[in-house]
Structure 1
Amino acid sequence: MELTNIKGDTYYIKGGTNTGIYLYNNNEGLGIDPGLCGLRPKKIMEVLEEKNIKLRYIINTHEHNDHYGACNEFKEKYKDLNILSSEYSKLYMENPELFSKYIIGGKSNKFIDGKLKSKSLEPVKVDVVINEGKINLDKIELDVMSFKGHTPGSIGIMTKDKVLFAGDLLISPEVLRKYDFLFTFDIEEQIKSLEKIKNIDFDYLVLGHGKNVISKEESYELIEKNRQALEKYINEVRKNLYPPIGLENLLKNIIINNQLRYNYKEYYFYKTSLVSVISYLEDLNEIDYLQSEGELLYYTQKK
């Protein structure tokens, strides 16, 4: 594990979740998305100690614990550390049990808690809420962008070196090859956020999960691949809504037709994304539903 320079004072540490590091002149620094708790934060702190770097701030791009889960371990190490997030992310970070309840759609159970809670057990207190626009941390200006879609609280952070940390707005090619049914909360907002990247003046972009930092030019192709992944399943749902079909059978068809691998957690992730697609098509007035023998069946209104 090493601190890799991207440009100027902006660095990152590769991992399952990539962690951004911005260095101040006094060897203090800002972290972005520390990742899961456990072994990784310990290794990151070892790297920082070797270079005599002390973290003053951590910014979390969104409310999934594979991005924020290690915050408490950093807080134990750096007592005056400030943790920042969006208002919506703060709600989930300070009440982590809400995520499994949201995924399940009710009271959680051991089947999904066993997959989620082992990753991050404790609530994370957010010290400062940040909104879209420019923020100043110790006289260093950063740009905060609202990147809603993957989650309602998703944000991007751009340093003065024009390096953009985009969280999970863009999914890397290697991840898309394995999981192209994207875990998405709001399809319409996701599409808007993908288009938004095109108009941001950045030089390099760091993905939440990906092997390589990408350039502005390379981002256009990846934006298109992510958009195509969304459209693939939107169109597949459209085709499956005649004759009328229930949600569980619709999901079953999608899993089988696309040979999607799944466990208990991933099944509910797919189901969450499917509901997002249904809501998107309803917003477009393309679908309706009917009640039949104890089921809700969705069907297309367009022939």
Structure 2
Amino acid sequence: MVLNKINRNTYYIDNSTNIGVYTFKNKNCLLIDTGINNGQARRADNVLSENGLHPKYIINTHNHLDHCGGNIYFQTTYPGIEVYASKKERIYIENPELRDIILFSAYPIKELGTCKKTFTVDFIPDYGINKIGDEKIEIVPLPGHSIEQIGVVTPDRVCFLGDSIFSENIIGKYSLPYLFNIEKSIETLNNLKEIDADYFLISHIDRVINKDELIKLVDLNISNINKNIEMILEILGEPQTKESLLQSIIILNDLPLNFNQYYIYFSSVSAFISYLSDKNQIAHSIENGEVYYYCK
């Protein structure tokens, strides 16, 4: 991990989930996301210390553990640090077991590795301009990947996008993305083109991108969603259970698979089914104790 300068007072720490850093004149800093666990957070803190920076604020883009799992380390190490998250994401951050309850549709099986830590959120920022540490920090709505994900724009015209958009490498490896709400995901992707910033950082990418690169990546992400829709509709030319639909998608796309990934994919398939049902493109029936989905 190193501290990479983006523009003026805005930096990021490269990580499997990038950590945004905005520095203030007094050497306090704002973190955008905190990594997945204490280990990542500690290494990030070492980078901050080497650069004379003191974490004072945290904004979590959303509730997924790789974005907020380091909160406890920073809250323990720096008493009084202020944590910000959107209203709905706060519920999941403060009750992390809800993430796996949603994936498993009940009390989750232990193999999902349910997080038992408690994360406290102090403030819910407004959409638009917020005053944090005497600086104007803009919060933009980015729902879709999660229920109420947010993006952060610093005074240096740098926008941190969380998981609202995926890099070419991620799409190449995981062509079925994790999306909570397809309609909102598409809406958010189109809205990204209108964000007034010059530099953009995605959570899972190895570099900062500019506006032109962002626009191309938006088109790629929307195209990938549409490819998944077309594939699902083709498979549902014959009635399928949700499980058999997912099986076909995994096989056709040669998706990497383990126990956790199966349930993440399963949740994504549910999101596509909800979307296509809302669009009146598919219907369902119940036969022999199973629910089947099919094209209208």
Q: Same fold (TM over 0.5)?
A: yes
Please give the alpha-carbon distance, in whole angstroms, between the structure 1 residues aligned to 2:250 and 2:226: 16
User: What is the CA distance between 1:70 and its match in structure 2?
Assistant: 0.3
Q: Secondary structure at the match of 2:270?
A: helix
User: What is the CA distance between 1:55 and its match in structure 2?
Assistant: 1.1
Partner of 1:275: 270
Residues 63, 153 of structure 1: 8 Å contact kept: no
Please give the alpha-carbon distance, in whole angstroms, between the structure 2 residues aligned to 1:253 and 1:49: 49
Residues 60, 67 of structure 1: 8 Å contact kept: yes
Please give the alpha-carbon distance, in whole angstroms, between the structure 1 residues aligned to 2:44 and 2:112: 29
User: What is the CA distance between 1:39 and its match in structure 2?
Assistant: 2.0
State the AA in 2 paired with 1:153.
Answer: E
Matches within 5 A, 1:121-140: 121-140=116-135
User: What is the CA distance between 1:42 and its match in structure 2?
Assistant: 1.2
Q: Secondary structure at the match of 2:147?
A: coil
State the AA in 1 paired with 2:107.
Answer: K
Please give the alpha-carbon distance, in whole angstroms, between the structure 1 residues aligned to 2:151 and 2:233: 32
User: What is the CA distance between 1:162 and its match in structure 2?
Assistant: 0.7
User: What is the CA distance between 1:156 and its match in structure 2?
Assistant: 0.3
List runs of 5+ in structure 2 lacking aligned partners.
Answer: none
State the AA in 2 paired with 1:96.
Answer: P
Partner of 1:167: 162
Partner of 2:96: 96
Please give the alpha-carbon distance, in whole angstroms, between the structure 2 residues aligned to 1:290 and 1:275: 16
CA-based RMSD of the aligned residues comes to 1.0
Q: Secondary structure at the match of 1:230?
A: helix
TM-score, reference length from structure 2:
0.98
User: What is the CA distance between 1:131 and its match in structure 2?
Assistant: 3.0
Please give the alpha-carbon distance, in whole angstroms, between the structure 1 residues aligned to 2:196 and 2:123: 26
User: What is the CA distance between 1:242 and its match in structure 2?
Assistant: 1.8
Q: Secondary structure at the match of 1:248?
A: helix
Partner of 1:251: 246
User: What is the CA distance between 1:138 and its match in structure 2?
Assistant: 2.1
Matches within 5 A, 1:1-303: 1-113=1-113, 116-117=114-115, 121-301=116-296
Q: Secondary structure at the match of 1:129?
A: coil
Please give the alpha-carbon distance, in whole angstroms, between the structure 2 residues aligned to 1:96 and 1:176: 26
Please give the alpha-carbon distance, in whole angstroms, between the structure 2 residues aligned to 1:269 and 1:138: 37
User: What is the CA distance between 1:2 and its match in structure 2?
Assistant: 1.4
TM-score, reference length from structure 1:
0.96
Question: How many percent of aligned residue pairs carry the same amino acid?
Answer: 34
User: What is the CA distance between 1:221 and its match in structure 2?
Assistant: 1.1
Deviations 1:159-208 (A, max 9, x none): 01110000001111111111111000000000000000111111010111
Residues 151, 162 of structure 2: 8 Å contact kept: yes
Please give the alpha-carbon distance, in whole angstroms, between the structure 1 residues aligned to 2:244 and 2:59: 40
State the AA in 2 paired with 1:252.
Answer: Q
List runs of 5+ in structure 1 lacking aligned partners.
Answer: none
Q: How many residues align?
A: 296
Please give the alpha-carbon distance, in whole angstroms, between the structure 2 residues aligned to 1:252 and 1:36: 29
Residues 141, 149 of structure 2: 8 Å contact kept: yes
Q: Secondary structure at the match of 1:260?
A: coil
Q: Secondary structure at the match of 2:172?
A: helix
State the AA in 2 paired with 1:22.
Answer: Y
